[in-house]
Amino acid sequence: MNDDRVTIHGAVETLLAGNGRFTAAAPAHPNQDAARRAETAPAQSPFAVLFGCSDSRLAAEIIFDRGLGDLFVVRTAGHVLGPEVLGSIEYGVSVLGCPLVVVLGHDACGAVAAARAAVQDGTSADGYVRDVIERVTPSVLAARAAGYTEDSDFIAEHIRRTVDLLMDRSRVLAEAVTAGRTAVLGLAYRLADGTVRHVTARGLDESAVPAP
């Protein structure tokens, strides 16, 4: 993995190649053996931070066909942001030196659906689930204001907003992107076929990732 970590584009290519193997039902299961376990025991050097939804169908190392020590994974319902998330992502960038931060959303997201229902019907939820819904609501309002009606458009808007919030709230991340040390890539995952599509990017040539 060391060569892949040298450049931002190398990290992107490695990640997307793994997803290609996964969708083709030909995973290589790299870095999942005893030798890799022993190699990574003293220290970790992942090539990407993966910030995604907690949905049980979004297991990062599986859908990107990676192994131990490859991805620094942070997941919350609806990929909503809080101080702990920001601190974890900053750790991956500033301490571990990850050249890539991925925001991974997906279709049929329960958090987005709940926020849409809350906006449209005034329905709510109990406990801290309500907090998750409230944090997704601005994305839903922005999508509605843009005239969107399709689920995929609401998902894409929430991914874009999450990337924007990351850049706005984390000075560490914003400075790393400006300096060319790190890029942020927003991807949308399709549950049915396992593919990912490019939604947005910061600090990365758009031609380096699949078109929407």
Give the global pTM.
Answer: 0.93
Domain at 29, CATH number: 3.40.1050.10
Note whether residue 2 is domain-resident: no
Note whether residue 3 is domain-resident: no
Q: In terms of DSSP bridges, do strands 196-202 and 183-189 run parallel, antiparallel, or are they unpaired?
A: antiparallel
Structural domains counted in the chain: 1
Note whether residue 165 is domain-resident: yes
The encoded tokens of residue 72 equal 């620094």
Would you give per-residue pLDDT tens digits along the chain (212 residues)?
Answer: 434 446 899 999 999 999 999 999 999 999 999 999 999 999 999 999 999 999 999 999 999 999 999 999 999 999 999 999 999 999 999 999 999 999 999 999 999 999 999 999 988 888 999 999 999 999 999 999 999 999 999 999 999 999 999 999 999 999 999 999 999 999 999 999 999 999 999 998 766 665 54
